[in-house]
Structure 1
Amino acid sequence: MASDIFSEMAIVSCGTLSPELNFLKSEGFLGNAKLFFTTPGLHENVRELETQLIERIAKAKGKKDKVLVVYGGKFCYLNADEPTRTMQTIIAEQGENVVRINATHCMDMMASQEERNRIAEELAGGEKVWWMTSGWLKFRHQVFKGWDKGLANENFPRHTGGAIVLDGIGFTETYMTEQPEEFLEYSDWMGIPIQPCPITLDRFKGLLTEAAEQLGR
């Protein structure tokens, strides 16, 4: 069972993915794995991202021998001062028994590029989409820390297909129901409509299992 694999390790993840990982933990998929999270939205501050990631991995090693890192690659860590320093470089420096999930960013963990293309065609007529996961709703003010309305206007409206939330835990529907004014204000701030796209967590589970199996060798 997958839970038997994960019980042997700790998982260090971007906090933006905490809703999905906590959900998988609650349903037993991750067994007794220990979860550690960095602050959501640190892709805007790579120095702090690196500091927190290394610190969380060190803490995780104090609990389990094997550490699975749930972070994307080039889209999550862009170091303008040291362009050759990548997320994979950081992971490699942490020693043996530390492996990163094979995905480019959190949206890619929820749905592959092919799946996102299909969803964009179905829900947005093939127009350019701003993709999000449930954490981008839950942790809005951290993910978009420092963004004002002007910066929002520069980035979001070009996505003529609007924003689509890849949601495998039903968070968006609950958010829309329980906090409708906040949801509408978020959409107004972005200047584009936000719509949920219910998905399964099958791809995420598969990528986590693949990384766990690599650690288990």
Structure 2
Amino acid sequence: MTDKGMSFKGVSIVSCGTLRMELKQLQEEGFLDADKLFFTTPGLHEVCSDLKEQVLRRVGQALEVSDKIIVVYGSLCYVDPVDMSGLDKLLETFGPNVRRIKAQNCVDALADRQTREEIAAGRKIFWLTPGWMRFKDLVFKDWDIGKINENFPKNDAAIVLDAIGYYDKLMEEDPMKILEYSDWMHLGVEAYHVTLDRFKGLLLDKLKELKK
């Protein structure tokens, strides 16, 4: 039950696994009382055919549990290689009771463009979420040194948008993992603490649409 008195009962969530920890946190807080959470493998934006297959399968499974589905994926996470259409066209086949949150990607789900610009303060940033750190081997699967050098060093720093205390806990329990991540990226990795308010708002927007 949300703080606005709305319930997610009758709704299931299909999400990219990169946001698993944030959604679990919302469950633990009592905000997200959805029927069931379904997750796809993190990092599928790199392999569109696998993303398409898993999203369609998870939505199908979710519809066996609930009549209404919220899909936690961004508009930039999938582009059909044939007709260049996005995830929304793919989801249209399920009808109006399957809705995708209004965000570009998982980073945008935690902090909008204006907020990120304020955080960056003029620096060029490679944005991360805790899931991008925890599931590094999946998110950056098959990245070789060429791709690493092409994408990371042109930035001034990497910032983890952390709403769940993941970075601080890792720094306390296993700081070497952060150093190893930084060495692998050839970038300094720092955390910026955000709230889950934007993410909650995006979920609520779709809940309201589904409850109409």
**TM class, shorter-length:** over 0.9
Distance 2:103 2:51 in 1: 17
Match of 2:57 in 1: 55
Mapping of 1:34-113 within 5 angstroms? 34-73=36-75, 75-83=76-84, 85-113=85-113
- Verify: 1:156 aligned to 2:152, yes or no: yes
CA 1:32–1:104: 2 relative to 1, 3 Å: closer
Distance 1:180 1:170 in 2: 14
- Verify: 1:18 aligned to 2:14, yes or no: no
- Verify: 1:135 aligned to 2:136, yes or no: no
Match of 2:203 in 1: 208
Distance 1:70 1:32 in 2: 13
Larger CA deviation: 184-193 vs 169-178: 169-178
Match of 1:192 in 2: 187
Structure 1, unpaired ranges of 5+: none
Whether the aligned pair in 2 keeps the contact of 1:4 and 1:31 (CA below 8 Å) is: no
> TM-score under structure 2 normalisation?
0.95
Distance 1:149 1:25 in 2: 38
Q: Secondary structure at the match of 1:196?
A: strand
Which ranges of 4 or more aligned residues in structure 1 deviate by more than 6 Å? none
Shift, 1:96, TM fit:
2.9
Distance 2:185 2:205 in 1: 36
Whether the aligned pair in 2 keeps the contact of 1:149 and 1:189 (CA below 8 Å) is: no
> TM-score under structure 1 normalisation?
0.93
Whether the aligned pair in 2 keeps the contact of 1:23 and 1:169 (CA below 8 Å) is: yes
Q: Secondary structure at the match of 1:6?
A: coil
Q: Secondary structure at the match of 2:7?
A: helix
RMSD of aligned C-alpha atoms? 1.2
Match of 2:116 in 1: 116
Structure 2, unpaired ranges of 5+: none
Choose which of 163, 167, 171 in structure 2 pairs with 1:172.
167
Deviations 1:111-138 (A, max 9, x none): 11000000001xxxx1110001110011
Distance 1:64 1:119 in 2: 38
Q: Quick one: which amino acid aligns to residue 148 of structure 2?
A: A
Shift, 1:4, TM fit:
4.3
Distance 2:182 2:35 in 1: 36
